[in-house]
Amino acid sequence: MSYQVLARKWRPRSFPDMVGQEHVLRALINALDHDRLHHAFLFTGTRGVGKTTIARILAKSLNCEQGVSSRPCGVCSACREIDEGRFVDMIEVDAASRTKVEDTREILDNVQYAPSRGRYKVYLIDEVHMLSNHSFNALLKTLEEPPPHIKFLLATTDPQKLPVTILSRCLQFNLKRLSMGQIRDHLTTILGSEGISAEAAAVSEIARAADGSMRDALSLLDQAIAHGGGELDAAGVRAMLGTIDRTRVVALLRALAAGDAAALLAEAATLAELAPDYGGVLNELNSALTRIALAQAVPGALGEEMDGHEALAELSRLMTPEDVQLFYQIGISGRRDLPLAPDPRGGFEMVLLRMLAFHPAGGVVQAAPRVTPAASTAASGTRAAPVVPSPASIVAEPSPPAATVAAVPPVSQDAAGLNWAELAATLPLGGLARQLALNCSLLRHHDDIVELALEPSQRALHNKKWEEALGKALSEHLGRPLRLSIQLGSSGGETPMAAQQRRGQERQNEAQASIENDSNVQSILDRFDGRIEPGSIQPVD
């Protein structure tokens, strides 16, 4: 006997055999059991989710010799012939190959005749959206008022292409994509029944590659069994699918979290030896970042049944939510731009380096030269830092010139002349650690102890990790170990952030006043009956 592929051998023969689609099955079972049957059913959904299978089971339920019910016997001649595709009163039409109106009229010419053997004559039209407009018009009247012995079962992957006149005449059932867990469990059951040994990771790889389609999963399973010589192992399945081991993705993320460019490029070189699909690698990287973000937002969201949950849970603790969102956005953009790169590997490495370059605590900040207060005083930039800078800002804003600093109300300083407002702006910090420094004021500085007061409105910045980063930067800047202590409250002085905001507002007021008091501007306004648009005046650096 010739080999029968798994997708046909394991096609469900009854409603209880179906995987998923409970919302559709419940409606059909109740309609059959309570004799509330419509004359036209439309099943929609992506490929391989069970549209045609449900239609065939429904046809068996209507024509079973034991009577109309949601549990066809499966052994009578009508049930067996429908399963084998040779039941005379079930007409299956492939609309993709019979799109002409003449084909539709030929089908409808036989609608008036009673069924030869069954209780109902069933028309199963697959990919019905492929019919022409003339074919739909020819079908309309019959579809609305068919003879009592006719049932229409329509299936399509693209219901948007159906005329609303067709949709309004059918009961529409939208079939969902199957979850990875549903596919994995069903494949495990099939492998057990077939007596084939398989690694759990290999089954998960196939379930993930199926992308919600059970038929695709069974086809891939057939291919994997042939590829592995009757056995399934994770390495073989990955080689067949062209995917990579997820430990490689975890290694990339570890290097990104550490800001280690050398380790990152070394992992990329190791990947290149496997000749992977770099678009697929970026997809895997983005998928891992998604799961990390979920774990950070909802602890325990990964679940122990998910592959690599321990490594991803650890990464969720090592990486900040801002870093994860930044890496994800760069990964998505890089996936889109990958075809434009001179070569795939170079494009992939460029995406990784872009993630590292914009990492708030990444290599650019670490490699930046230390800025001394003297150099800061000589700096020419006078623009204040924004109130809420982007998480990707990695270079500290230049501090204001000496004349501007002198205008700031004095802050607490020790005998050594430690000016916190000036010092905080020059520390080589990025991201939220910099925000913590800018929103603190100096309480006291004695020997190796520095005490800061954090504004109560910024209590969300009171984080041990960022406090340690600030203490480390202070120690390196002053050239001796310091012990930093931060408490909520106000020292009565002005924080660097408040000073920057005040200076920015002063510059804005000066710019606005200079425009409003300019005689030329006033002459133009009077002559043309004009007005100055609020918010349109900006200071010039």
Mean pLDDT, rounded, for 93-104: 82
Q: Tell me, what's the pLDDT at 378? A: 36
Mean pLDDT, rounded, for 410-427: 63
The structure's pTM equals 0.60
Instruction: Give residue-wise pLDDT tens across range 164-184.
Output: 999 999 999 999 999 988 999
Whether pLDDT at 317 is above 90: no
Whether pLDDT at 412 is above 70: no
Mean pLDDT, rounded, for 256-267: 88
User: 151 phi and psi, to 5 degrees?
Assistant: -130, 130
Q: With cut-offs at 50, 70 and 90, classify the pLDDT of residue 303.
A: low
Q: With cut-offs at 50, 70 and 90, classify the pLDDT of residue 259.
A: confident
Q: Tell me, what's the pLDDT at 307? A: 61
- Residue 368's SS3 state is coil
Give residue for tokens 């900006």.
Answer: 538
Give the strand pairing for 171-174 and 449-454: unpaired
Whether pLDDT at 258 is above 70: yes
Rounded distance, CA 46 to CA 156, Å?
8
Of 162, 163, 87, 161, nearest to 118 by C-alpha is 87
Give residue for tokens 């002005």.
Answer: 494
Q: Tell me, what's the pLDDT at 402? A: 35
Mean pLDDT, rounded, for 223-244: 86
The ranges assigned to domains in the chain are 6-174, 180-241, 246-359, 389-541
Q: Do domains 6-174 and 180-241 have the same CATH topology?
A: no
Q: Which CATH class is domain 180-241?
A: mainly alpha
Give the strand order in the sheet containing 90-94. 90-94, 121-126, 150-156, 40-44, 171-174
Mean pLDDT, rounded, for 79-95: 90
- Residue 243's SS3 state is coil
Whether pLDDT at 511 is above 90: no
For residue 365, how many C-alpha atoms fall within 13 Å in the half-sphere facing its CB?
24
The percent of residues above 70 in pLDDT, for the chain, comes to 87
Mean pLDDT, rounded, for 307-319: 80
162, 156 Cβ separation under 8 angstroms: yes
Instruction: Give residue-wise pLDDT tens across range 17-75.
Output: 999 899 999 999 999 999 899 999 999 999 999 999 999 999 999 999 998 999 999 89
Q: Tell me, what's the pLDDT at 541? A: 62
Tell me the fold of 389-541.
GMP Synthetase; Chain A, domain 3 (3.30.300)
| Average pLDDT taken over every residue of the chain | 82
- E strand or H helix that includes residue 94: strand 90-94
Ramachandran bin of 123, using left for φ above 0, alpha for ψ from -120 to 50, beta for the remaining angles: beta
Kindly give, in sequence order, each residue whose CB lies less than 8 Å from that of residue 292, ignoring residues fewer than 6 positions away.
253, 312, 315, 316, 319, 324
Tell me the β-bridge partners of 452.
442, 486
Cα Rg for the chain, rounded, in angstroms? 35
Q: With cut-offs at 50, 70 and 90, classify the pLDDT of residue 122.
A: very high
Of 288, 425, 276, nearest to 355 by C-alpha is 288
Instruction: Give residue-wise pLDDT tens across range 360-409.
Output: 544 333 333 333 333 333 333 433 333 333 333 333 344 333 333 333 33
59, 110 Cβ separation under 8 angstroms: no
Q: With cut-offs at 50, 70 and 90, classify the pLDDT of residue 308.
A: low
Instruction: Give residue-wise pLDDT tens across range 452-482.
Output: 888 887 777 878 888 888 888 888 888 888 8
Name the more confident of 433 and 69.
69
Whether pLDDT at 202 is above 60: yes
Q: With cut-offs at 50, 70 and 90, classify the pLDDT of residue 185.
A: very high
CA dihedral 467, 468, 473, 479 (to 10 degrees): 120
Among 105-114, 165-174, 413-422, which is the least confidently predicted range? 413-422
Tell me the β-bridge partners of 449.
446, 483
Q: Tell me, what's the pLDDT at 351? A: 94
Mean pLDDT, rounded, for 244-250: 84
Q: Which CATH class is domain 6-174?
A: alpha beta
Instruction: Give residue-wise pLDDT tens across range 330-370.
Output: 999 999 999 999 999 999 999 999 998 887 544 333 333 33
406 burial (CB, 10 Å; 0-12 / 13-18 / 19+) is exposed
246-359 in CATH: which number? 1.20.272.10
Rounded distance, CA 154 to CA 285, Å?
40
Give the other-Cβ count within 10 Å of 540's Cβ: 5
Q: Tell me, what's the pLDDT at 387? A: 38
Q: Tell me, what's the pLDDT at 152? A: 93
Q: Tell me, what's the pLDDT at 539? A: 80
71 DSSP assignment? S
Structure tokens at 206: 């196939």
The answer to whether the Cα torsion of 411, 412, 414, 419 is positive or negative is negative
Of 44, 42, 56, nearest to 12 by C-alpha is 56
* Cα of 512 vs its chain's centroid, Å: 45
Query: What's the first-to-final CA gap in the chain, in angstroms?
Result: 84
Q: Tell me, what's the pLDDT at 367? A: 33
Mean pLDDT, rounded, for 129-133: 89
Instruction: Give residue-wise pLDDT tens across range 512-540.
Output: 888 888 888 888 888 888 888 777 787 87
Q: Tell me, what's the pLDDT at 403? A: 32
